[in-house]
Amino acid sequence: MNKPKIVRPEASQPAHAVWFDRKKYVTINFMVQRPKDVQVDIQPDKMILCCKNETHDVFYNELHFYEKVQINDSRERVYDRTINVLLRKVKPDYAWPRLQKDSAKPSWLSVDFDNWRDWEHEDSEGKEEYDRYMDMIQEMAAGNKGETPDMGDLSDSD
């Protein structure tokens, strides 16, 4: 399936975008009011977005990814105010310190702190909590239980 090559329009500007990282995916949300004529080309090492908004301003973004993505399991979805792109990482469980290969951050790109999570340490923190809980249960089971209670008053005889 050959997609037509997206050529950068002469009179274009980049769309503002926010991104966040998860274990298996990276999500990018491009902020465009009522996007039209949306073209998205996701490649293993980069993506290109070109579209127009309701006032016919032309937007063009080209991103070279920090790491490779799986193009067959990456998607985009167009909404009234955003274009959401979900990119599946080739290397899951690896945190991207930045979205782009280049360490210089473009002015139109920022981190989505509302959706950001430090997921790298989630499993180990959960395991530590579980281990503490199991230790507590075993201490209670092995600890001084006291004498067996007298249950003579529970008999059915009157």
User: Per CATH, which fold does 17-116 belong to?
Assistant: Immunoglobulin-like (2.60.40)
Indicate whether 119 pLDDT > 80.
no
- Residues 47-102 have pLDDT tens digits of 999 999 999 999 999 999 999 999 998 999 999 999 999 999 999 888 899 999 99
Half-sphere exposure of 7 (CA within 13 A, CB side): 3
Residue-averaged pLDDT of the chain: 85
Give pLDDT, residue 125: 57
pTM > 0.85 = no
Where exactly are the structural domains of the chain? 17-116
Give pLDDT, residue 145: 62
Which helix (H) or strand (E) is 124 found in, with range? Answer: helix 122-142
How many whole angstroms separate alpha carbon 94 and alpha carbon 92?
Answer: 5
Task: Give residue 7's Cα distance to chain centre.
Answer: 29
Task: Give residue 85's Cα distance to chain centre.
Answer: 11
Place of tokens 């395991």: 127
